[in-house]
Chain A
């Protein structure tokens, strides 16, 4: 898939172009080099959050696709330091909310509680984006992009481009060998991975 198309399409699901893939920021990047940005605890929490967004069903889920490990690499290498700071506020805030609202950590929440929390975060993130200028937020302006937008983007992107996501949740044929532009489709059949 052309990245140009990818950026455009991720915009639909999460309301903004893929953060970290933003070519418009190319003139002002100041990435960090070196060690891990996300701790092992962060990765564990994000694994659970991602699994709540895309759970294992009759097909593999975000955890099977090791989406949180992908986030660790992507946030470390593809985000600017400002974007990293925004993303890192996520695990901190989610831990606080869990303790305040439920008195337990995210992995210990009931399914309904997790769902309630994700629902609330998703709503907050969307409200914030709707208030920004046509979905082209300035990441350097504090409060313009919700960390949950970033988590959700990387969950979807990381899952559907993973091997299990692309080949088991979606369909993929490495060498199609032919093209049919008018093939029959029955509802329920998975989409092509790319």
Chain B
């Protein structure tokens, strides 16, 4: 075997790439894992994990200089002192906004698995059947039954905490004990259940934070510091570093190569198979070729598509997978920041101990069971109740000893939540190559043209009104509808651009995530999504990846790849 040949190449080391590397190496394949950014070693390189608020010169607020350097990231909370260096350098890696698109990227080993929100929910057949039922876009080529065993499998390994609720819209999984609700949330849950006959439910959020140790993975249970996004020295949340990468390394079958920008998939048009990838070393600018029998693209939704667009252009000008005309199309995100908040009377003899990395979740209840609102699909809510802190208003006091004493004690309870809404796949919500603009390495960049449409706007009204209605029914005071700034991409759940489908005329990938035009190329990150559901997507990427890896190895053995 030549030095540059592997059984499989995995491009990208985030949530889905880490899973691909783990599954393929554990099944005995020699795997090259390529990551375009630098390495971040578990625990050792979590440089801010032990810092406190006062250790940051600006107490975690971005400086003007940071805003200049990170104009996109500065649109939202990810730009701060504590996670600096864990987001892409925007000067080196620009993109073009034909229309505003917030693209928050993590170019390093582990990708956004280090900074993700960790909410982990299963899809249901309500989601998988929606496109077909409503005549939207194309039908998913799989159903819940295809994915259910793989959800079981990835949940068991990743460690998802949650409660079994027996809900059709949000199937139960293999859960560790839940992260508890606080006493206000518990009472609000009961009141909502009563007021809506059990049709609307407030439950514990299901998160990839382990509530029992996993000694076989050298992971300790959550310590309730709520500093996940700095990298967890306890390995208490699922990330590439804490979970899949150590498993892959342990097989002895993994080679990890950071600073490796994959510029194209190499394609043999006679065999109609990929033969490997071309890599540009981000540090030396030298070009290498690596060959493999199987290639997994897990470079993040848009970057996997970028690689396809740059591949086999001598056969298809639009790139590998473009023959359907759908490559780069059907961009989706979850639109959010529409909800409500209010004040809670009482419970002044109750407080909490510890800082939860979680809160509550209200599963989708709209357009379920035959209901037809003036929009399609639905939304879920994430929220929490807490006591006010020093940043509240104190009537009649504005300075001095009494003011300080009052602010040093907890205030009354408040509660708030925001909806996360499904976005439909629209063909002309798209990304494309802008060859006029290049990055630090002279490579063409992506341009974005994505809009919210009437369906999403109509849904946002319900996201606010329903939140108000539920809080008022639960006895919350001074309930206010809230809507914050949202631009496509801001949900950091970008999906689509290389969708799965039943046939090569209307989709880029088949039911096993194989590129129709190159069956030994699998795309199992968010690019593959045919619709978006309203639940956080990462758990589904994990399940799809494990399923595709299993299929790929079986096909290899059969000689079909």
CB-CB under 8 A for A29 and B68, given A52-B399, A54-B403, A184-B350: yes
B77, B223, B398: the one within 8 Å of A2 (CB) = B77
| Residues of chain A at the chain B interface (Cβ within 8 Å) | 1-4, 6, 9-13, 18, 20-21, 23-24, 26-27, 29-33, 52-55, 57, 59, 61, 70, 73-74, 77-80, 115, 118-119, 122, 156-158, 160-163, 166, 169-170, 172-194
Report the contact-size class of chain B (Cβ under 8 Å from the partner).
35 or more
Q: A13-B393, A26-B75, A77-B65 are in contact. Are A189 and B409 (CB under 8 A)?
A: yes
Contact of A57 with B350 at beta-carbon distance under 8 Å, contacts A122-B398, A181-B185, A185-B410 already known: no
Q: Among the listed B54, B63, B180, B401, which residue makes an inter-chain contact with A161, where contact means beta carbons less than 8 Å apart? A: B54
Query: Which residues of B are in contact with A by a Cβ distance under 8 Å?
Result: 52-54, 57-65, 67-68, 71, 74-77, 79-80, 179-183, 185-186, 223-226, 348-356, 387-394, 398-401, 403-405, 407-411, 485
Structural contact, A53 and B403, CB atoms closer than 8 A: yes
Q: For residue A69, give the distance in angstroms from its CB to the closest CB of chain B.
A: 10
Of A170, A172, A183, A188, which contacts B351 at CB under 8 A? A183
- The residues of A that contact B67 with a CB separation of less than 8 Å are 26, 29, 31
B281 to chain A, nearest CB (A): 33
Given contacts A191-B389, A193-B53, whether A61 and B350 have CB atoms under 8 Å apart is no
The listed residue with most A CB atoms (<10 A of its CB), out of B62, B179, B181, is B62
Are A179's CB and B75's CB within 8 A? no
13 pairs of residues in contact across A and B, judged by CB atoms under 8 Å: A23-B485, A24-B485, A26-B71, A31-B64, A54-B399, A57-B401, A70-B59, A173-B354, A179-B179, A179-B180, A182-B183, A183-B353, A191-B410
B387 near A191 (CB under 8 angstroms)?
A: yes
Contact B225 A175 (CB under 8 A): yes
Contact B183 A181 (CB under 8 A): yes
Check A177/B392 contact, CB under 8 A, given A77-B65, A182-B183, A191-B409.
no
Task: Compute how far the CA of A185 lies from the CA of B404 in the bound complex, rounded to whole angstroms.
Answer: 19
Q: Is the interface of B mostly helix, strand, loop or mixed?
A: loop
Q: Which residues of B contact A160 (CB under 8 A)?
A: 389-391, 407
CA distance A1 to B186 in the complex (A): 23
Asked if A31 contacts B68 (CB within 8 A), the reply is yes
Partner of A78, one of B58, B181, B353, B394: B58
Which B residues touch A57, using CB under 8 A?
A: 401, 404-405
Bound state CA distance, A166 and B350, in angstroms?
21
Per the bound structure, the CA–CA distance linking A160 and B54 in Å amounts to 9
Residues of B within 8 A of A78 (CB): 58, 61-64
Q: How far is the CA of A11 from the CA of B179 in the complex (A)?
A: 30
Given known pairs A13-B392, A59-B408, A156-B391, the reply for A182 and B350 (CB within 8 Å) is yes
Whether A80 lies near B77 (C-beta < 8 A) is no
A120 CB to closest chain B CB (Å) equals: 11
Closest Cβ–Cβ distance, residue A161 to chain B (whole Å) = 4
